[in-house]
Structure 1
Amino acid sequence: MNNRTIGVIPLDNRACCFQFPKRIGAIAGYDIIHPPIEALGNFMDAGDSERSKEWIRKQAGSVSCLVLSIDQLAYGGLIASRAMDRTLEQCKELLSIIPEIKREYPNLKIAAASVLMRLSITYKNKEFLEYGMMIFKYSQLYDKVHRLGESELREELEQLRECIPAHILQEYLEARKRNHEMNKLILDWCAQGIVDYAVITQEDASPIGMHLSEQKLLMEQIYTSRIQHKAMVYPGADEAVQTLLIRMIQELEGKQARIYPRYSSTAGKLAVADFEDRPVEETVNCHILASGAVRVDHPDEADIVLIVNTPEPDDRPQDTKAYFNSRHNYWDIVQGIKHEISRGRNVAVADVAICNASDLELVQYVLEEGLYLELIAYAGWNTAGNTLGTVLGHAAARWLGMQDSALAHKSAPYHYTFMLERLLDEWAYQAQVRGEINKWIDTELGLNPNHLENQYLIVNEKVQLLMKEKFEQVRTVLLQQINRTNRDGIGVADFHMKDVRLPWNRTFEVSVVADCKFKQA
């Protein structure tokens, strides 16, 4: 029997963790099942990990493979992973379902994603907002003193320690220690064959910090355990389940996408993107490999050309999500898209130039040239690692879906829907609406947008109003373009935005549910 059902434990209930894997699975022709969304927690409320355990136990015999977020299963989600509400022993007990299932179903493939904790803390109240950057700096100073041997900074480190409330720093350090032990456990299980593939993704970091010593120990463990073929450590977090999902789908299909990365600038591919610890080119290579694809050195070898819109290292936009700098060569990107498509190649765009938003200059040009829906994938959200995981997952899924004409016809609506959702999320909300909303919150409500307190409903209503305006603007443009050229043999009747809302009590992310109405061409 050809089982096209995959069981997933998402990281949490945000769209990037809960909705994106379902979209990617559907584009590739797979049904993604998961625990009920209410079991995954919400913002500061941890997920019900016991319920997720029981869900795995119930579904393991009926799926082709499992893709598990360790942070959801052990701690109750990403936010919960930074707190000490659960001890190491409690977390290990929650994860005991994994070896149990492997014993019962030895041929069931299990992929696991775990997060290497970020350098700062969760901004869960005003106190934590105040000390978040101090914790970040403390981690960097600690690394300089203890790993790099810069003893002259020891006094500054101790002065900073005195400025941070003891209970905040203690929880941060204890959570780091516990989570490191959990990551070591996952690698142990890789070595034992309990977990078939594991990724440990480095959440928000920098080229200096406590995380580097932890990474080194994990890399040594991978080496001594001889599991270099089945475990990786690299930048990312929220997208990791998507990455492992497309890896498992390619394994099930017996195929491997060949990716040729093309960069918008030489300086940009060598730049370290915001919240990451290595050059963009290295991050791209890691994500290609983790996704189960292979990097090739010429577009003639490639199934997918991945065009990477890179950061300008000396000019990071703040309020306006655009560079307005002549060195930012978006013209080359657009001409590259045109050229590769004219050669019959599949083109995807990883928009990592600006952290947590589309590049307004690039997207405007792509839309005006009628190229956006010619792409097989686009993403531009949060960190470079987040964007890369999504765009590679989407691109490989679309490539797989187009291998069979019947499947391509069936999966095309999911593809175009996801493309519209990415545009509304990254271009409309992140690059435009979010900035306007944050200013409005500051002037009208006097709140921090990272925690809306009891004003969620009024802020959410304002977001919905602004997003509807952006949707109508882009809907007209896309409808003029979509049926001009369509490789799927179907026509698009209309685009709809079914739902838009803030998933958590903050403005950092938005959840968009779109819909594309189709007709026979």
Structure 2
Amino acid sequence: MQFKYLKQLLCLFLMMIVVYVPNVVFASLNKTIIFVPHDNRPISFKQTADNIRDLGYEVLTPPEELLGNRENPYAKPEELSKWVIENAKKADAAVISSDSMVYGSLVASRKHNLSEDVVLARVHNFEKIHQANPNMKLYVFGSIMRTPQTSEASGSEDANYYAQYGTDIARYTALNDKLEQDGLTHKERKQLKQYEQKIPKAALDDWLSRRQGNFLVSKNLIDLARNDVITYLALGCDDNAKYSQTNKERRALDNYGSDLSELKYQSVAGIDEIGYVLLTRAVNNLQGDIPFVSVHYAKGTGENTIPAYSNEPIKNSIATHIKMAGGMKVNSDKRADLVFMVNTNFDGTTGAANDLNNVYIPNENIIDFVNMVDEAVQANKKVGIGDITFGNGSDNALMFSLYGKNLLDKLNAYSGWNTPTNSTGYALAMGMGANYTDRVGILKMLEVRYLDDWLYQANIRQAVANRLNSMPGEGDYGNTKTRTLPAEKLATEALQKMIADYGLEKFEGQSYVADAQIRFPWQRMFEADIIFPEEKVSVEEKIEK
């Protein structure tokens, strides 16, 4: 009971801040949010914006041609800034990617050749946005440039030389970071010199100079938060590791912003999920609410798991994501608005969802985890799941077990896409947002994740990839080219069959799901867009055109 009153006092305090900050008129709120994602991928853009729209908010997004895409990651940052400034007076809050505003997109932040003068001028467009509407809350998220651990992991989304020297660059900078953190052995010092001699100076200089420019951009964003131009700044560590250039820069930036409270600035492992996390923060603030979140982990390594693509234990990332979204972590389920459960491997490893060991037969760890979920649901708790046993797709054993216990339509949130921290951050945001909609609205959000993360990413994607070479035309997994349409058709047929097999269209208010289709908007199979009847143009119609 005392905790209930504490929450009421916290929410009242939050509302008083909104009401009494000079020049802010609480009564004028229109529930309108500007959202600028870091590119036009479905998960970054449409799916995230739609989740907030489903809560009853108007979400203003820029014309898609102003955003970075696969063909043109550099986009139109100057026109994008003008669009935001023109629309600022319509909004109560804005959630904006600094990568889109400064470089053009997340991918462009890794490959650009912009001068220091250009990037800093674009950073200060945020001042113009603030001047256009000083009452608008300005939430900004940006990336600390990634360090792919291998050349293959780059996926052609870094400078061209990374395909040849990326693994060496990652190891060289990891040793430099280890030297700063813990020191090196004699053997490691010899390796450091060997990598320095092996990597072409021009390539290493280019990579480090771009990073230095991006680092300067991040420092300037911190300055804008310090000067109250930016209401709240979140910096995400794109793909990285415990020892990496990304982690090294994160520590330096955190030190630079150490005078700022967590209400102004935070950094975290992960980046693709942060747009949704900050949109949830905006909604919570506009609602005058601070959701309480309790967290549970599967047995074994659990909270101490350091997942793939991350430089910290998952418990640290989750704690930060909760704060970033405007929530508060609590220790008791009784007090929680969301009971968040994290599916991890017993040994703390992260597999790949398309691996052959992503089977449907549950092990003891999965059985125990699903029982824990079932108990919470039976106790009428609002349960969300962050599924991080595998990266880039769901754990089939988990999903089949949830299906077997009729729990899929009882959850409030789920995510198992892309990197583990992407999944946990996204699911946390969904679970907090679920407080502001009904069961049908929650199921609508869940359906997209089930179709994308489970059916497509963990199952259909690899099955279709295995048949690409038998299709007419040209194309492969990374660039489907002229095989895009037949691949979409085959994937759609498989998707609709699996939807029927698991009865996902029978969930309350979800009959439209039966006719869902798959698209590959970036002409690669790594991600998909899930198209529903009201927005689809059939594959057959596209072929005819």
TM-score, normalised by the number of residues in structure 1: 0.88
Q: In the TM superposition, what is the alpha-carbon distance from 1:446 to its structure 2 partner?
A: 9.6
Counterpart selection for 1:468 from 482, 493, 498: 493
Is residue 117 of structure 2 the alignment partner of residue 89 of structure 1?
Answer: yes
- Alignment-derived partner of residue 267 in structure 2: 233
1:39-438 superposed matches below 5 A: 39-45=66-72, 46-120=74-148, 121=154, 123-124=156-157, 128-150=162-184, 152=186, 153-223=188-258, 225-313=259-347, 316-318=350-352, 319-320=355-356, 322=358, 329-401=365-437, 408=438, 413-438=440-465
Q: Which moved more, 1:116-125 or 1:25-34?
A: 116-125
Residue type at the aligned position of 1:393: A
Aligned to 2:524: 506
Q: Equivalents in 1 of 2:447, 2:362: separation in Å?
A: 29
> What are the superposed Cα offsets for residues 428-476 of structure 1, whole Å, 9 maximum, x if unpaired?
22111222344445798997633x2xx4230452244134213322234
Name the Cα RMSD after superposition.
Answer: 2.6
Q: Residue 438 and residue 136 in structure 1: after superposition, are their counterparts in 2 closer, same or farther (change >3 A)?
A: farther
Deviates more, 1:98-107 or 1:228-237: 98-107
Q: Which residue of 2 aligns with 1:17?
A: 44
Q: CA deviation at 1:312?
A: 3.5
Report the number of matched residues: 497
Q: Residue in 1 aligned with 2:9?
A: none
> Conserved in 2, the CA contact under 8 Å of 1:428 and 1:467?
no
Choose which of 503, 506, 528 in structure 2 pairs with 1:478. 503
| Deviation, structure 1 residue 134 | 2.6
Q: Is the 8 A contact 1:424 1:471 kept in 2?
A: no
Alpha-carbon deviation of 1:396? Answer: 1.2
Deviation, 1:378, is 0.8
154-163 vs 246-255, greater mean Cα deviation: 154-163
Q: Deviations over 1:348-384 (max 9, x none)?
A: 1111111111001000111122211111111001112
Confirm or deny: 8 A CA contact 1:191 1:227 kept in the other structure: no
Higher relative contact order (CA 8 A, sep 6+): 1
Going from structure 1 to structure 2, the CA distance change for 1:98 and 1:255 (only over 3 Å counts) comes to same
CA deviation after TM superposition for structure 1 residue 492, in Å:
4.4
Output the amino acid matched with 2:198: C
Cα distance in 2 between the residues matched to 1:82 and 1:467: 33
1:135 CA displacement: 2.5
Structure 1 residue 423: Cα displacement: 1.1
User: Which AA in structure 2 matches 1:3?
Assistant: N
Q: Distance in 1 between matches of 2:484 and 2:505?
A: 33
Is the Cα–Cα contact under 8 Å of residues 288 and 392 in structure 1 kept in the other structure?
yes
Q: Counterpart of 1:11 in 2: which secondary structure?
A: coil
1:488 aligned partner: none
The answer as to whether partners of 1:204 and 1:276 remain within 8 angstroms in 2 is yes
Listed one character per residue, the Cα deviations across residues 245-283 of structure 1 (whole Å, up to 9, x for unaligned) are 100110000011111111112412211100101111111
TM-score, normalised via structure 2 length: 0.85
Structure 1 residues 326 and 474: alpha-carbon distance in aligned structure 2, compared to 1, 3 A threshold: closer
Deviation digits for residues 67-124 of structure 1, max 9, x if unmatched? Answer: 1100111011111000132222211222222112223422211000011111135615
Once residues 90 and 228 of structure 1 are traced to their aligned partners in structure 2, the CA distance between those partners, rounded to angstroms, is 30
Aligned amino acid, residue 107 of structure 1: N
Could you say if the C-alpha distance between residues 511 and 167 of structure 1 is closer, same or farther in structure 2, counting changes exceeding 3 Å?
Answer: farther
Give SS of 2:503's match.
helix
Q: Does the Cα contact within 8 Å between 1:122 and 1:128 map onto a contact in 2?
A: no
Change (3 A) 1:347 1:515: farther
User: Any conservation in 1 of the 2:492–2:517 contact (CA below 8 Å)?
Assistant: no
Q: Could you tell which deviates more after superposition, 311-320 or 89-98? A: 311-320
Segments of 5+ residues of structure 2 without an aligned counterpart are 1-27, 149-153, 536-545
Tell me by how many angstroms 1:59 deviates. 0.3
Q: In the alignment, what sits opposite 1:456? A: 481
The gaps in structure 1 that reach 5 residues or longer are 402-407, 484-490
Structure 1 residue identity aligned to 2:50: R
CA contact (8 A) 1:498 1:515 kept: yes
Q: Secondary structure, in 3 states, of the residue corresponding to 1:68?
A: strand
Q: Give the deviation of 1:174 after TM superposition.
A: 1.6
Q: Which amino acid aligns with 2:524?
A: R
Paired residue secondary structure (2:257): helix
Match of residue 27 from structure 1: 54
TM-superposed deviation, 1:326:
7.6
Aligned mates of 2:87, 2:440 — CA distance in 1: 28
CA positional deviation for 1:15: 1.0
SS at match of 1:150: coil
Structure-2 residue corresponding to 1:5:
32
1:113 and 1:200 in contact (8 A); partners too? yes
With 424-433 and 358-367 compared, the bigger mean Cα shift is at: 424-433
Shift of 1:480: 7.5
Q: Secondary structure at the match of 1:15?
A: coil
Asked if the contact 2:518–2:529 (Cα under 8 Å) also holds between the matched residues in 1, the reply is: yes
Alignment correspondent of 2:543: none
CA contact (8 A) 1:321 1:360 kept: no
